[in-house]
Amino acid sequence: GAGVSQSPSNKVTEKGKDVELRCDPISGHTALYWYRQSLGQGLEFLIYFQGNSAPDKSGLPSDRFSAERTGGSVSTLTIQRTQQEDSAVYLCASRGGQVGGEAFFGQGTRLTVV
Amino acid sequence: DQQVKQNSPSLSVQEGRISILNCDYTNSMFDYFLWYKKYPAEGPTFLISISSIKDKNEDGRFTVFLNKSAKHLSLHIVPSQPGDSAVYFCAASGLSGGSNYKLTFGKGTLLTVNP
């Protein structure tokens, strides 16, 4: 497809279980970002991949969170031993490497930890 | 340390009037700024951007103004329409690839345009 695709669109999981969220960026985009939006909050930066550089993980809230980007394309965000405070909408965006340019967002994955 | 600040969590305007959304930033390395609009249950969508070499960029009803010395930008919507009701996010980054290409967002302003 032409846009950023995220799956699943909704995920309900039990506290303590692991979850994987997937992001398919726009083909050719070198930059990929993960954000999350908790209820009533803004966009919280999680992690940023740029080409082959080491990712910027400065936004990951704990070591239960990790992400990888395989082959410079698809990215997976993994949350281990989920907690109720992890409930949020997880948003992925991709951006071309040209000067300036906007980032394109997916529809997000709504994660609910019960 | 919030590098991009949107100090007004909400704004309410009448249809047909001007909406002015404000954003302040602290990092002098930022040289590219973007505005996004977000409806509930959807991902943010890009509205308009401006690079630091300009002080104004206009696209239809939307105009973004940048005041580099004050580290302030604003989004003007005129005339405002009920369909503009959404959360508006300000974002900033460096201009090109590398570590400074990270997009930093403000907390958003909920705009309500009343018919």
Q: Is B107 on the interface with A (CB under 8 A)?
A: yes
Given a contact cutoff of 8 angstroms between Cβ atoms, the answer to whether B54 and B47 are in contact is no
Residue A14 banded pLDDT, cuts 50, 70, 90:
very high
CA distance A81 to A65: 9
Please tell me the predicted confidence (pLDDT) of residue A99: 66
Cβ neighbours of A32 in B, within 8 Å: none
Q: Among residues of chain B, what percentage have pLDDT more than 90?
A: 81
Residue A9 banded pLDDT, cuts 50, 70, 90:
very high
User: What are the tens digits of pLDDT across the range B18-61?
Assistant: 999 999 999 888 989 999 999 988 999 999 999 999 999 999 99
Amino acid (one-letter) located at A21: L
Dihedral, CA atoms, B8, B9, B13, B19, nearest 10 degrees? Answer: 50
Query: Two tokens at A47?
Result: 């992690």
Neighbours of A2 (CB within 10 A): 7
Please tell me the predicted confidence (pLDDT) of residue A61: 95
Best of B103, B104, B109 to substitute, by most chain A Cβ atoms within 10 angstroms, is B103
User: What are the tens digits of pLDDT across the range A64-111?
Assistant: 999 999 887 999 999 999 999 999 999 999 988 666 678 999 999 999
User: What are the tens digits of pLDDT across the range B77-107?
Assistant: 999 999 999 999 999 987 655 556 788 999 9
Give the CA distances from residue A85 to residues A22, A81, A113, B54, B103, in Å, rounded to whole numbers and listed in that order: 20, 12, 8, 41, 24
User: What are the tens digits of pLDDT across the range A16-68?
Assistant: 999 999 999 999 898 899 999 998 788 999 999 988 888 999 999 999 999 99
Among the partner residues A30, A33, A35, nearest to B97 by beta-carbon distance: A30
Neighbours of A39 (CB within 10 A): 7
User: Which residue is closest to B10 within chain A, CA to CA?
Assistant: A40
Given a contact cutoff of 8 angstroms between Cβ atoms, the answer to whether B63 and B57 are in contact is yes
